[in-house]
Amino acid sequence: MLLEFVGNHWVLFAALGVILGLLTFSLIIGEKGSVDPGAATLMINQRDAAVIDVRSAADFAKGHIINAVNVPMNGFKKQTAALSRYKDGPVIVNCRSGSQSQAACHVLRKAGFNEVYNLKGGIMAWEAANLPLTRKKR
């Protein structure tokens, strides 16, 4: 009976298989290379991790992680050479919510950066964890 149902609705079962595969990939591999605000704080304090903020200059000016470097996402690929001094140490990339910074992490990894992490949840998660922001320029 189950085989007959699957045979009659094979398209739905194929779609279910694809969805389950993508969900599994997202849960297992998608989070690899991400850190939550607490882990990011430890990396900054204990390992002197560099923080790269890919938000616009205006958003960066409203508040950013202390000692963060602002490299806006538009034109980010052209700026990777300027970030080469951080290539051998841990780098944490953040944006507003964590999605744009994920793309920036991919660019940095392709450019040969050894240890790149996405700040899971971005500045929104950082603020939700009651961690400090500054408006001072470096």
Strand pairing partners for 91? 50, 116
Chain mean position to CA 121 = 8
Handedness of CA 134, 130, 35, 104 (dihedral sign): negative
Catalytic residue among 43, 51, 95, 104: 95
Q: Cα 22 from chain centroid?
A: 18
Would residue 95 show up in a list of annotated catalytic residues for this protein? yes
Name the percent of the chain in helix, strand, coil, to the closest 5: 55, 15, 30
Q: Which residues are catalytic?
A: 95
